[in-house]
Each structure stands twice: as C-alpha cells, then as structure tokens.
Amino acid sequence: MSFLKVQPSEMSILFLDAHPFTPLDKAWDVIYSTPIRVGHLSQPVHYENFIWGVEERLMPFSEHVDPPIPYLEEFRTFVLDRFDLPTKDVLNCKKLRITFIVRRNAVYHPRNAEGNVGRKVFNEAEVVETLMKAFPGSHVQAALMEALPMKSQLEISSQTDLWIGMHGAGMTHIAFLPKHAAVLELFQKDFKVNRPWFVCFHSITMWRGMHYDSWENTDGNLEMPHDYTIVPTDVIAQKTQKLVEQMCPK
C-alpha cells in the first residue's frame, strides 16, 4: 500500500484456498476491508489491480538480504494503529517481560483433519519455571497465541522484551515486538535439513536490528513421540541470559 499509494479502504484480501472461516479472519476486517473467498463468488470478477502473494520459499524473507527489505517498521506501526494499540515502548531492565509461546494440537485447516501440530515443547512447565528463577521480578508468561483474538495477541507481542518459542507461525509476531526486544528461536532435530529458507524469522530480527539467538536439537534422545521435543532448561537459561545482557548492557 505504501509503495503503490493505496489506502486501506481500497485494499481487499482475496483467499484462493478452501480454508474454513477462523477467528483470524476478523483481523483482516480490521486491517483492510472484508476478505473475499473465491469459493463464495457467484460470478467472474475482473480486478484491475492485483498483488500476488509469493510462494514461501521464494519470498525475500527466506534470505538474509542486504540491504533490508523496506517498510518493516511502517508495517508494525500501521497494524498496531489499526487495532488502536500503542506503537512506542520503553525497555525496563529491572522488570523484563518474557513471553514463551507454546503450541497445541488443533484442527486449523482441512489438510490436517487429525489436528496434529508439530514442533511442540515437551517440558513447557520446566522452561517457564527456569525463566522465572533466572529472572526474578520479571513478568514471565506462556502464551497459546492462536487461542487469543488478534488484538490480544498483538498486545502481548508489542509489549514483550524477550520472545521465546519453537519455529512456527507464532514467531511471526517478532514483526510487532518493540525494536529493543530479543528473540530465542527453537528447532527440533533435523527440522532445517533441506529447508534453507527457514531463516525467515532470523532475517526479520536482523533487518529490524534486534537481538537474536537460536537452539537446534542435535540429540535424538530429546525427541519424543507425537512431535514433542525436550528443551534443556540449562540451554534456555544460558541463552536467555546472554540475550538479556545484550539488551541491558551493564
């Protein structure tokens, strides 16, 4: 919209797939105008101007492009403004806000009728307890983002200093973190094999000038049935402490 000088009221989202309605559809109503689904069209429609979405592995987010792609900060401000949320935030190193995002099995689209979701953390409670002990006085929370309305999701991410979670859709919220924030991204064993484009979230942090670290499991004994991974709590403690020191240098 910025590049083409198009107003939000002139922009509509066209869904080409057969996904059912979800609560996230309401977010499009707030950001743009009412979404349109191809399956609901009763007659042909001619669009004079059409912006086509690019396949994930071909997106610029899939490479560490230099210089950075434009409009990231403008995009953050635009979306938060549409939801009437503040865009400015101040880092308080004496009371950090730490969010650990979790994943749950659920049916999100017809291609996954069983509702099996991968890349889940087996020892979530231990991870949260470790963070609370490592940073006493800080606000530590575990969040199942998809269970919340979009405005609540954005309230959490736009007011988080340290964002931790398994690689997945919830990590998209790093686009809305304060610019001073830090990100710790977790990967299950062999997940990145033959997936070089999964640097997308690291790329966003790099372009936004944020602090970033990651952990990738290399121990098969830490992989559990049903796509669960045990995340060593000592690794969480060490890596989060390092990120906090980068955010809050003495």
Q: What is the pLDDT at residue 192? A: 80
Q: CB-based burial of residue 204 (10 Å sphere; 0-12 exposed, 13-18 middle, 19+ buried)?
A: buried
121 shares a domain with 45: no
- Asked, for residue 107, whether it belongs to a domain, the answer is yes
Residues 202 and 114 in one domain: yes
Residues 133 and 210 in one domain: yes
Domain contains 229: yes
The CATH number that applies at residue 183 is 3.40.50.360
Of the two residues 2 and 154, the one the predictor is more confident about is 154
Question: Does 39 share its domain with 144?
Answer: no
Same domain, 233 and 171: yes
Residue 48 lies in a domain: yes
Helix axes 72-82, 200-208, angle to 10 degrees: 90
Mean pLDDT for the stretch of residues 44-52: 87
On whether both 165 and 47 belong to a single domain, the answer is: no
pLDDT at 6: 85
Number of domains into which the chain is organized: 2
- Confidence at residue 64, expressed as pLDDT on a 0 to 100 scale: 67
Domain extent, residue 37, equals 1-53
Tokens of 118: 């991968």
Residue 43 pLDDT exceeds 90: yes
Q: For the residues of 117-181, what is the DSSP string, one character each?
A: ---EETTHHHHHHHHHHHSTTSEEEEE-GGGS-HHHHHHHHTT-SEEEEESSGGGGGGGTS-TT-
16 and 133 inside one domain: no
19 vs 168 pLDDT, higher one? 168
Q: Using one digit for the tens of pLDDT, what is the confidence trace for 60-105?
A: 766 666 778 888 999 999 999 999 999 999 999 999 999 999 987 6
112 with 225, same domain: the answer is: yes
Within a domain: residue 223? Answer: yes
- Both tokens of residue 221? 């004994």
Mean pLDDT lowest among 15-19, 229-233, 236-240 = 15-19
pLDDT at 120: 84
223 and 109 within one domain: yes
Kindly report the average pLDDT of the chain as a whole number: 87
Least confident of 57-71, 89-103, 131-145, 178-192: 57-71
Six-digit token string for 133: 């002990």
111 and 229 inside one domain: yes
Domain co-membership, 101 together with 42: no
Residue 177: pLDDT over 60: yes
| Together in a domain, 115 and 31 | no
Q: What is the DSSP letter of 12?
A: -
pLDDT in tens, 151-173: 999 999 999 999 999 998 889 99
